Amino acid sequence: MIPTPTRRRVAITAVAALGLAAVVAGGRHEAAGQPPVTAAAAAQPAAVSAAQPAADRPADQGGVKAAVASLAASFGKGDAKAVAALFTAEGEYADDDGTTVRGRAALEKDYAEFFTKNPGATVEVEIDAVRFPSRDTAVVDAHFKVRRAKGELVVSRGSILYAREDGKWLVAILREWGGDGLSLRDLEFLIGTWETKQPGTTVTTRYEWTANKSFIRCHFSVAHDGKSVGGVQMIGRDPGTNTLRVWTFEDNGGVGDIEVTRDGKKWVFAARGTTADGHVLTATNLLTPIDADSFLWHPVQRALDGEALPDLVPVKVTRVKAKQ
């Protein structure tokens, strides 16, 4: 969050949003249209209550998962013809405004246009469930994680209806809905370990999913002049307000609450916290992605107990690559 202006040691704060120490200032440390898998996004599918569990058909489950892997691989190669060939002859893709792309020729054209506009794009399909409504059909519920060449990650939910024709699982209907770009899944790019360094100070944050991916847990630490402080944050959707929030708990007793919104590609974290000794700190923190492994963090509109403090310069935060 925001360091107290009455002390002039150089410090980095660890609250703000995401447990990220983005502030280097005088004071003591304190707490304070989506790219589709095809070409658009679509409505949530109805549940199929009578579907046979995938566990009862392990061979078919393996075949369906292999078909999903082929779809992702062809997408990653930017091969529109190969992607369209994985659909049935009259296979279709529907987006959330009612537009439908139907038939292999139309799908190939649509994919080709997408790959031209997004060279190097890849997709990871995270399968949530596989169901079998009948002997020769399967429904795959999944999250589609599209990463563009510059590293921008876009996550959407979707469902694929597969039909088995001549022993081969083909896409009959692919539906995808991307939401408003302000879901917890849209922050999935944070998963991993990040670091930022300033003279005499190193801040490390580690993000991980909780069970069922209902929250992202962040452990953060600030090492400054031989001393280390830290804490934990929980990032998730508040079911009472249906807003994306961050809750911060510092080891020294400070707490914080942050509302998360977006302004285009920029993430906005409106933070309010209370230090262990009762001071109220507020700030607006801006996160601007640079690529898959770095972003800028910029604290502005800061105040301590209602007294305005100057904006701080942006700092670059980079991903810590896993050792091979």
Please, which pLDDT band fits residue 199 given cuts at 50, 70 and 90?
confident
pLDDT (0 to 100) of residue 168? 97
Q: Is the pLDDT of residue 30 over 90?
A: no
HSE (CB half, 13 Å, CA atoms) of 149? 9
Q: Is the pLDDT of residue 208 over 90?
A: yes
pLDDT (0 to 100) of residue 39? 36
**Tell me, what amino acid is at 273?**
G
Beta-strand ranges (E) seen in the chain are 10-13, 23-26, 52-53, 87-94, 100-102, 122-134, 137-147, 153-165, 168-177, 192-198, 201-209, 216-224, 227-238, 243-250, 255-263, 266-274, 280-291, 294-304, 307-309, 315-319
Q: Are 151 and 145 in contact (CB under 8 A)?
A: no
pLDDT (0 to 100) of residue 99? 83
**Tell me, what amino acid is at 188?**
E
Q: Is the pLDDT of residue 3 over 50?
A: no
pLDDT (0 to 100) of residue 47? 35
Q: Is the pLDDT of residue 196 over 60?
A: yes
Q: Is the pLDDT of residue 43 over 70?
A: no
pLDDT (0 to 100) of residue 25? 32
Q: Is the pLDDT of residue 109 over 60?
A: yes
Specify the pTM: 0.74
Which domains, and CATH codes, for the chain?
10-32+183-319 (2.40.128.20), 52-177 (3.10.450.50)
Question: Which residues lie below 8 Å from residue 254, measured CB to CB, with a gap of 6+?
Answer: 1, 15, 30, 31, 32, 231, 248, 273, 274, 275, 276
Q: Which residues pair with 168 in a beta bridge?
A: 165
Arithmetic mean of pLDDT, 69-83? 97
55: alpha, beta or left? (left if phi > 0; alpha if psi -120 to 50): alpha
pLDDT (0 to 100) of residue 52? 62
More confident call, 4 vs 242: 242
Q: Is the pLDDT of residue 269 over 90?
A: yes
Closest C-alpha to 99, from 161, 41, 139: 41
Distance CA 159, CA 62 (A): 17
pLDDT (0 to 100) of residue 226? 83
More confident call, 175 vs 51: 175
Distances (CA, A) of 111 to 75, 173, 220, 284: 9, 15, 41, 39
Arithmetic mean of pLDDT, 204-223? 95
Arithmetic mean of pLDDT, 109-131? 95
pLDDT (0 to 100) of residue 94? 87
Please, which pLDDT band fits residue 235 given cuts at 50, 70 and 90?
very high
Distance CA 208, CA 210 (A): 7
